Amino acid sequence: MVAPGREQSLAKLVATRRVLLVCGLGGVGKTTVAAAIALAASRAGRPTVVLTIDPAPRLADALGVAHAPDDEPTPVAVASNAPLYALKLDPGRVFDRAVMRAVADPDARERILANRIYRQLSRVVAGSEEFTAMERLNELLDDERFELVIVDTPPSAHALDFLEAPTQVVSFLRSRTLAMLAGGGSLGARLAGRGARTALAALARAAGVEVLRELGEFFDALAGAAEQLAARSQRTHAVLTGAQTAVVAVTVPERRAVADTIAFMERVRELGMALGAVVANRVHDAHGLEATALADLQTALAAAVGENLARKVAAVAADHVRAAAHDQAALATLARWLAEHLEQDGDRPAFARLPLLESDVRSLAELERVAALLCGRDRA
Amino acid sequence: MAGSPGLAARRLVFVTGKGGVGKTTVAAALALAAAGRGLRTIVCSIAAEEHLGALFGSDALDHSERPLAEGVWGIAVEPRRARDEWLHYQLPAPLAALLARSRLLDHLGTLAPGLEELLAIGKVWEVSQPERIAAGAAPYDLAIVDAPATGHGLAVLSAPHTFAQIARVGPVRRHAEHIDRFLRDPAATAVIAVTRPEELPLLETLELATRLESALGRRLDLAVVNGVVPLRLTAAEAKRLAAAELDGAARKAATLALSERRVAVRHSAAAARLRRRGVPVSTLPQLPALDDDAARGEALAALARRLARVL
């Protein structure tokens, strides 16, 4: 028998990794968890930056990025053992920078920036947040101010899109379609086969020649960029699947969320990434109250505050006890999965539970408490 | 007070909202409520992840229109299938088939701005028409769209306009303009946001209301706020409870009740904020966990009864 692995701790993760990717479905509290982990890391003496995608205004305020220019790492006003920076992703700016870096010819750059298709593309493409978050991570890895980069990933239903988005963009840029469309469809069409020519003609008929011309111009200007972007995306991929990176999955204690999280974690492993921790957020705590003692509780309350109010308070307690039991049942599945899945280094991913708070985190003091709950107890 | 938003009188109800707030559940409950009024109703999923089928205890939906419950049908719109259908309406068959086979369009679908969104909303529009283009397809009285999260949802609603601007002439433009007019028309289309009484979803809903006005010149017809904690204790009771001398379990229970009241007060303020902005509001308690097969049907029916008043 192999001895069961030790449970990893978040404190150890923040002390040893270079990148932590905080993932989860929308609305589970990813950004707060990412910010709290970042705070804990700076407490542990590591210069840290947290890349947020869409922080709630009051959390953004607490971090000091609410009014800072987007895309710029801004120091968080907190006394810590190492600098802590936060930044809000600006997909448009990062996308522009990435494309400009990849295109050598200044004329081509100008043509791209002026192209209507490009302007729409950089704003509208849904995958662009995924692509740009990874591109921004790439830039931050080269920034000597930071030892640890914490990435709050986009709230995507396909939680690992960000890993695949760069590959998709690159495979498109390398494809024959690009060659066909380059040169407004005319030069490319000569190189392409007859079927493709007819297809292009049909497309022109359906979509209007104008669109095709602009698409052609756009792809023509981008033609040289493929190799450059490919090299960068390979680097991102190597960093994400390397030992210096770990994934932190955030979930809530609901059966469907747990099932989604388990599917996500399996995908993480398939992709060769390390799973560092799972954080269950908003867990009801029964505070030691038990369902069997609720009748006695109501009697005790009635003596102090009267029958009517006692009934209401006991009802609140009963709901809470029920919710706590429900949460525990939902998380049991998660705990079981974690117990059965050792990471390559023989450790089990950390499993942290955060209690349901009265309100979302709005200040650094509240963030401090979350950080202590996540990383406080067992220091590495 | 504004009366009922009158959703049942429209042809299309577009349900959007921040990820994870319960859009699909609300869309399903609305469909059941509409079917309860005798309306032939279809729910169209255009979100990336399709959970609708499971809510009705059926398999995952696909691009075919399938019955889900008495008076309720469902479809999960696949942009590629919608594209091929559209090509067939627009082009002679051999050309359409050629284009459908071509990898060219797959790539364009990945990168061309708003094309997938246009195709998805185009299919939804087709489904919602009293006279269907799709051969042999029966019309519905009401189509309810389980749309992607707010930002992307708005991109879907604006896609026809965006595309009409890019394609200056041609059938794409005419088609896109037609859909755009339908989506802007408050008599034809309603837009509702599902949200939660917390800061971020609330702000996103307010922003959606503003952006609907600026981008589409239309209002947000309804915000369904769910997960609203009810106010169980009066202010006087809360004061009495806080002052009472309690210990042990009684003190813990009192702490929980007082904490719950603070949350409830914040939640009712959140709903009030939306109303002040001129957005009609319907509140729902914590949505039931619909993962329990046995309880799901009844839970969904109860939600439908609550939501019936917004029809």
| Interchain CB distance below 8 Å, A210 and B241 | no
A54 domain-assigned: yes
A98 domain-assigned: yes
Q: Indicate if B143 and B198 belong to the same structural domain.
A: yes
**CATH code (residue B198):** 3.40.50.300
pTM of the model: 0.81
Q: Indicate if B186 and B95 belong to the same structural domain.
A: yes
Mutate to test the interface with A, among B116, B198, B200, B255 (most CBs of A within 10 A): B200
Closest approach of chain B CAs to the CA of A16, in angstroms? 32
A96 domain-assigned: yes
A219 domain-assigned: no
Question: Locate tokens 């389980």: which residue?
Answer: B146
Residue of B nearest to A56 (CA): B200
Percentage of chain A modeled with pLDDT above 70: 74
Q: Touching check for B114 and chain A: CB below 8 Å?
A: yes
Q: Of A209-218, A299-308, B182-191, B207-216, which range is least confident?
A: A209-218
Angle, alpha carbons A261-A50-A347 (nearest 5°): 45
A209 domain-assigned: no
Q: Touching check for A106 and chain B: CB below 8 Å?
A: no
CA distance B119 to B86: 8
Greater confidence (A218 vs A135) lies with: A135
Q: Indicate if B134 and B256 belong to the same structural domain.
A: no
Please tell me which of the candidates A199, A316, A360 has its beta carbon nearest to residue B102.
Answer: A199
How many helices (H) and strands (E) would you count in chain B?
Answer: 12, 8
B2 domain-assigned: no
Residue A280 lies in domain = 10-160+233-286+330-376
How many helices (H) and strands (E) would you count in chain A?
Answer: 17, 8
* CB-CB contact of B56 with B301 (8 Å): no
Q: Of A242-246, A333-337, A360-364, which range is least confident?
A: A360-364
- Tell me the two tokens of residue B79: 């942009």
Q: Indicate if B170 and B218 belong to the same structural domain.
A: yes
The CA radius of gyration of chain A, in Å to the nearest whole number, is 25
With residue A352 as reference, give the H or E element that holds it: strand A350-355
Using a CB-CB cut-off of 8 Å, the residues of chain A touching B152 are 126
Closest approach of chain B CAs to the CA of A208, in angstroms? 5
Interface of A with B in 289-328 (CB under 8 A): 289, 293, 296-297, 300-301, 304-305, 309, 312-317, 320, 326
Query: For B79, how many CA atoms within 13 A lie in the half-sphere containing its CB?
Result: 19
Q: Indicate if B170 and B234 belong to the same structural domain.
A: no
Decide if the complex's ipTM is over 0.85. Answer: no
Closest approach of chain B CAs to the CA of A153, in angstroms? 14
| Interchain CB distance below 8 Å, B196 and A27 | yes
Q: Indicate if B27 and B64 belong to the same structural domain.
A: yes
Q: Indicate if B264 and B205 belong to the same structural domain.
A: no
Q: How confident is the model at residue A246 (pLDDT cuts 50, 70, 90)?
A: very high
Q: Indicate if B40 and B160 belong to the same structural domain.
A: yes
Closest approach of chain B CAs to the CA of A9, in angstroms? 28
B52 domain-assigned: yes
Using a CB-CB cut-off of 8 Å, the residues of chain A touching B146 are none
Number of separate domains in chain A: 1
At how many degrees (to 10) do helices A128-141 and A161-173 cross? 100
Residue B81 lies in domain = 7-227+284-310
Q: Indicate if B128 and B215 belong to the same structural domain.
A: yes
Instruction: Identify residue A335 by its one-letter amino acid code.
Output: A
Residue of A nearest to B202 (CA): A56
| Interchain CB distance below 8 Å, A211 and B167 | yes
A218 domain-assigned: no
**CATH code (residue A113):** 3.40.50.300
Please tell me which of the candidates A58, A200, A288 has its beta carbon nearest to residue B199.
Answer: A58
Q: List pLDDT tens digits, range A273-297.
A: 899 999 999 999 888 888 888 889 9
A202 domain-assigned: no
Number of separate domains in chain B: 2
| DSSP states along A75-122 | E-S---SS-EEEEE--HHHHHHHHHHHH---HHHHHHHHH-HHHHHHH
Question: In this structure, what DSSP letter does residue A45 have?
Answer: T
Q: Indicate if B134 and B199 belong to the same structural domain.
A: yes
Please tell me which of the candidates B201, B253, B291 has its beta carbon nearest to residue A317.
Answer: B253
Q: Indicate if B75 and B123 belong to the same structural domain.
A: yes
Angle, alpha carbons B234-B237-B239 (nearest 5°): 110
A60 domain-assigned: yes
How many cross-chain Cβ pairs, A to B, lie less than 8 Å apart? 182
Question: A351 - beta bridge partners?
Answer: A278
pLDDT in tens, chain B (311 residues): 345 678 999 999 999 988 778 899 999 999 999 999 999 999 999 976 677 888 898 888 999 999 999 999 999 998 888 888 877 777 767 767 766 666 666 656 555 556 778 889 999 999 999 988 877 788 999 999 999 877 778 888 988 888 777 766 677 788 889 999 999 999 999 999 999 998 888 998 999 999 999 989 999 999 999 989 999 999 999 999 999 999 889 999 999 999 999 999 999 999 999 999 999 999 998 776 666 667 788 888 989 999 998 88
Q: How far is CA A230 from CA A180, A234, A236, A237, in A?
A: 20, 6, 10, 10
Please tell me which of the candidates A124, A206, A254 has its beta carbon nearest to residue B171.
Answer: A206
Q: How far is CA A215 from CA A179, A345, B103, in A?
A: 12, 48, 16
CA distance A358 to A345: 38
Question: Locate tokens 């390397």: which residue?
Answer: A242
Q: What are phi and psi of A208, to 5 degrees?
A: 95, 140
Residue B86, pLDDT score = 79
Please tell me which of the candidates A28, A123, A313 has its beta carbon nearest to residue B241.
Answer: A313
Q: Indicate if B103 and B211 belong to the same structural domain.
A: yes
